[in-house]
Amino acid sequence: MVLNHVFGLFSKPEKEWKSIKGEHCSVGRCYCSHVLLLAAIPAIAGYIGTTQVGWQVTGREVQKLTPQSAVQIALLFYATMLFAVFAIGKLIHWMGQTYGSKQPLPQCIALAAYTATPLFLSGIMLVYPVLWFNLIVGLLPLGYSVYLLYTGVPVMMGISKERGFLFASAVLAVGLVMLVAVLAATVILWDIGVGPVFTGS
């Protein structure tokens, strides 16, 4: 079921959104059949990349994380992704009334989960943990996730495309604020000593 939706979201997204809406998926089923599986891709890839491949900074020796440090970061990253999907789904549910839509929470979480599909899949590139490479390559799946959001909101929330555009724009804006907040929290945690441990440290 997961692979069917993944293929459909890339080939015929609007038709696939209608199929997803027709399933009336529960929160638990949505997580078990989609989020828990796909969110593991960037977490596992990041662990492999930071412990086995490593990265270089301005020609210095290759930097790698200790397995213990990498697994802690991978688990935290995984938990953050799971929470982010739920939080954005809850936000969509709450904002729906403003745009004349009262859809059930599971449907809003499904919208958030399937919108994130390209980002989850692109997480495989973390096996090569080079910042500039990840940022450049990551722009394509990020752009497609935004496209899925704009095509999915009118279908999943049962509103016109005009209202859907405004709704999706509001969700996107709040999502960017959440991203900045997560990055800020990461910097703060690193500053107080809760950060990565490198091999040879």
Confidence of residue 13 (pLDDT cuts 50, 70, 90): very high
196 falls within a domain:
no
Q: What percent of the chain has pLDDT over 70?
A: 95
Residue 199 lies in a domain: no
Is there a domain that residue 167 lies in?
yes
User: How many domains does the structure of the chain reveal?
Assistant: 1
Residue 9 neighbours by CB under 8 Å, 6+ apart: 16, 17, 114, 117, 148
| pTM for the full predicted model | 0.92
- Averaged pLDDT score across all residues of the chain: 91
- Tell whether 113 is covered by a domain: yes
Interval 15-32 mean pLDDT: 93
Q: 156: burial class by Cβ within 10 Å (0-12, 13-18, 19+)?
A: buried
Domain membership of residue 27 (yes or no) is yes
Q: Which of 145, 146, 156 has the alpha carbon at shortest distance from 99?
A: 156
pLDDT recorded at residue 198:
87
Q: Which domain holds residue 129?
A: 2-191
pLDDT tens for 89-133 read 999 999 998 998 999 999 999 999 999 999 999 999 999 988 888
134 DSSP assignment: H
Give mean pLDDT, residues 11-31: 93
Q: How many residues does the chain have?
A: 201
Q: Which are the contacts of 67, defined by CB distance < 8 A and separation ≥ 6?
A: 51
140, part of any domain: yes
Q: Is 24 a residue whose pLDDT tops 90?
A: no
**Cβ density class 33-70: b for 16+ within 10 Å, e for less:** bbbeebbbbbbbbbbbbbbeebbeeeeeeeebbbeebb
**Burial class of 167 by CB neighbour count within 10 A (0 to 12, 13 to 18, 19+):** buried
Helix (H, G, I), strand (E, B) or coil at 79: helix
CA angle 49, 50, 56 (to 5 degrees): 100
Tens of pLDDT, residues 126-169: 999 888 888 899 999 999 999 999 999 999 999 999 999 999 99
Q: Measured between alpha carbons, how far is 150 from 53 in angstroms, rounded to an integer?
A: 37
Q: Half-sphere exposure of residue 53, counting CA atoms within 13 Å on the CB side?
A: 13
In this prediction, residue 3 carries a pLDDT of: 65
**Paired strand residues for 65:** 198
Instruction: For residue range 59-87, list pLDDT tens digits in order.
Output: 678 899 999 999 999 999 999 999 999 99
d(CA 151, CA 165): 9
When pLDDT is cut at 50, 70 and 90, the band that residue 194 belongs to is low
Is 161 part of a structural domain of the chain?
yes
